[in-house]
Structure 1
Amino acid sequence: MPKGYVILTETIHDPAGMAAYSRLSGASLAEYGGRVLAVDDDVDVIEGSWPGRRTIVIEYESVEKAQDWYRSASYQAALPLRQAAADCNVIIASGFTPRAATPR
């Protein structure tokens, strides 16, 4: 069965708010068996925003498990904190393999 992945890209405006969101979302992540594969931080200043943009890749045993986590009450409770602290795009994918994990 293909693994499931949640890919988040965030432009952070409020680091303290994102820290609060990360604490809540991290607890729910463990509850659903998620594993953070990669965090790519880009500290270039983005016009009109706090200088913090990152991409996070989280792996689950299946795409259904990834969807279950994203829809869970525990994760949904964290979303208002993220919405107040950052602009975020989310992709839930199946069969995605990060480039670093691909044998060369």
Structure 2
Amino acid sequence: MPKGYVIFTEAVDDPTGMAAYGRAAGLSIAESGAAVLAADPRPQVLEGTWHGDQTVVLEFESVEAARAWYESAAYAKAKPLRQAAARTNAVIVAGFAPRPATAE
């Protein structure tokens, strides 16, 4: 089963509010067993237009685990803090799982 990733792009309007969100979300992330793979306040855009001024990537054991965290009661307490402090895009994506090689 491939890993699940939650990716946020955030246009932060209230840094103090985002700090409060970070503390609240951090607890729920730790409880879920997820890992923060990236939290970059200045992503380097290579092509196109990127939303926001901060990008965060979380890794979960599966897409189902990522969805369970996002919909959890623990994260529900943090989510309104983020929504009040930043304009955010969020996605869940499945990790790449290479197909086994087949004999020709």
1:60 maps to a residue whose letter is: F
CA distance in 1, matches of 2:5, 2:66: 6
TM-score w.r.t. the length of structure 1 is 0.80
Q: Trace 1:14-93 onto structure 2 (pairs within 5 A).
A: 14-42=14-42, 53-93=53-93
Q: 1:32 to 1:15 in 2, by over 3 A?
A: same
CA distance in 2, matches of 1:76, 1:6: 15
Q: How big is the shift at 1:76?
A: 1.0
Q: 1:42 to 1:63 in 2, by over 3 A?
A: same
Q: Secondary structure at the match of 1:42?
A: coil
Q: What is the aligned length? A: 89
CA distance in 2, matches of 1:27, 1:90: 19
Q: Secondary structure at the match of 2:24?
A: helix
TM-score w.r.t. the length of structure 2 is 0.80
Structure having the higher Rg: 2
Contact 1:25 1:78 in 2 (8 A): yes
Q: Which deviations, in whole Å up to 9, do the C-alpha atoms of 1:52-104 show, x marking residues without a partner?
A: 7111110001110000000001101111111111000100011159xxxxxxx
Q: Kindly, what percent of the aligned residue pairs are identical?
A: 58
Deviating above 6 A after TM superposition, structure 1's stretches of 4 or more consecutive aligned residues are: none
CA distance in 2, matches of 1:96, 1:87: 28
- Give structure 1 stretches of 5+ with no counterpart: 44-51, 98-104
Aligned to 1:12: 12
1:21 maps to a residue whose letter is: Y
Contact 1:9 1:56 in 2 (8 A): yes
CA distance in 2, matches of 1:23, 1:71: 18
- Give structure 2 stretches of 5+ with no counterpart: 44-51, 98-104
